[in-house]
Structure 1
Amino acid sequence: MEQVGLNHCFGGQQLRFRHQAESLDCAMHFSVYLPPQAERGPVPVLYWLSGLTCTDENFVNKAGAQRYAAEHGIAVVAPDTSPRGEGVADDPEEAWDFGLGAGFYLNATREPYAHHYQMYDYISTELPALITKQLPVDTERAAISGHSMGGHGALCIALKNPGQYRSVSAFAPIVAPSQVPWGHKAFSNYLGNDQATWQQWDSCALIRAGAAQVPMLIDQGDADDFLTEQLRPELLQQACEESGYQARIRMQSGYDHSYFFIASFIGGHIAFHAAAMEQ
């Protein structure tokens, strides 16, 4: 694990690392904010999963999360959104919504993507094991959050790993990828055309299948250009109501899909996770 960046921020440190990821068979970058409380011992950790086209740096540069992470004494770990490098398969048409920058936080089973695109294993297993050994974080007190494609990833990973995360939140998540164009494209290429396998990576399907309860907070802007075609929060609301699953889903008037939206509500999300970590 090689440190490649350091900035002081709100009494803590904004760090960036590079390492060789075994699950992805490539070099990966990830960013970590360590609050000032980390100088005294391990602190809880919030994983942040970014959306389509992003890297590990978008959130740390635009969301303003460090101020709130410092107040609550929480580390924030932001991984990249896909495997990278020479030999990593991309969208043959070089589109922005699939391939590099669009790993969808699943384990691909279809070639040529299966070799590198094992983002689920990387986020849920390899990265926590790495930072536990190398950084002053307490991965027993963990939460996960994300935006758009990353919101999909955060919800799925939390639902598939009961007990690993104290809470989960999302901004404008793709809640039902098996039912929207972004998901159709990604799943057919990463997983193949058997739609039964898609349900393993669909938050609505996981909730209907009886996923264990985890504290859940979701914010969605009603001025989001992707709301009706790609995001469809009403499908998650329906799945939760039919299954008796408790989730706080808020529609925020006038907000779009941008980091201005995330920056407006990230403080509340971090406070939500901090409260869950204290339980």
Structure 2
Amino acid sequence: MSFAVYQPPQVQKSYPVLYFLSGLTCTEENFIVKANALKYAAEYGLILVAPDTSPRNAGIPGENDNWDFGTGAGFYVDATLAPWSNYYNMYSYIVEELPNLIAANFSIDINKQGIFGHSMGGHGALVCAIRNPNKFKSVSAFAPIVAPMQCTWGTKAFTGYLGEDNQNWRLYDASELVRKHKYHGHILIDQGTDDKFIQEQLKPEIFEQACQEVNQPLTLRYQDGYDHSYYFISSFIEDHIKHHVKELGV
């Protein structure tokens, strides 16, 4: 697995760290190159970590056949069906392996770790944070897939990685999770109104309703005229980094 790391220029004893999870078809490079985040990480003294979105060249038949399943589309789950289960364990990678690797090689403050992401990565960030609030003390998302059990991207991935029993899917659906595991902090989500995926795939209103049911603090902002691209992310990345700075107490 590949990942990108940005370390700020300040000399500090330890650094807060933010993990950014990218969306379908992306690599570890997309966020670092396109999001315009590095100057804000430098300003606030944050390490940024951007992992790849799936294993690559695993030798699984058909792994490159679809843009929304297999290579570039790990969906941040731990696969239970063979042959995917031998390689596609992105949830454990994000929650355990990668943070341990970062902690072993960089001077980070393990009590100040946040996570955010875009689209499929926004789904992953919400799931990882809600299930692991003691590890990820802050969370935000850009145009996340918040109800994957109710959209074709999610059902395709979950069926292929986890099987037909949708009870297993609930572990990776933020709208299902937040009803049972209310997150301790404030969640920030930005969603573009001109995003062509908003109605069929993203469904932000479902997560908003779930949060209202359990009094989960949520700021869901609809940004007029913005689509699903990295121009959208770069326009509001400063707000998200400030959100994490506040939540982490940096």
TM-score class normalised by the smaller sequence: over 0.9
Structure 1 residue 77 displacement after superposition: 0.2
Taking the TM superposition and a 5 Å limit, the aligned residue runs for 1:199-210 are 199-210=170-181
Over the matched positions of the two proteins, sequence identity in percent amounts to: 53
TM-score, normalised to structure 1, is: 0.87
1:60-209 to 2 correspondence within 5 Å?
Answer: 60-88=32-60, 90-91=62-63, 94-209=65-180
Match of 2:2 in 1: 29
Q: Distance in 2 between matches of 1:90 and 1:259?
A: 29
**CA–CA separation in structure 2 for the residues paired with 1:179 and 1:86:** 29
Q: Distance in 2 between matches of 1:266 and 1:151?
A: 13
Q: Tell me if structure 2 keeps the 8 A contact 1:210–1:243.
A: no
Let me know the Cα RMSD of the aligned residues.
1.2
Give the length in aligned residue pairs.
Answer: 250
Structure 2: give runs of 5+ residues left out of the alignment.
none
Deviations 1:237-278 (A, max 9, x none): 111111211111111000000000000000110011011111
What is the CA distance between 1:91 and its match in structure 2? 4.0
Runs of 4+ in 1 over 3 A off after TM superposition: 88-92
**Inter-CA distance 88–122: structure 2 relative to 1 (3 Å threshold):** farther
For residue 137 of structure 1, report the CA deviation from its aligned partner.
Answer: 1.9
Gap regions ≥5 residues in structure 1? 1-27
2:235 aligned to 264, 268, 272, which one? 264
User: What's the TM-score, normalizing by structure 2?
Assistant: 0.97
- C-alpha displacement of 1:155: 0.1
Q: Which has the higher strand share?
A: 1
Letter in 2 for 1:44: P
Distance 1:73 1:215 in 2: 22
Counterpart-to-counterpart distance in 1, 2:9 and 2:61:
40
- 1:241 is matched with 212
Bigger RCO (CA 8 Å, 6+ sep) = 2
1:231 maps to 202
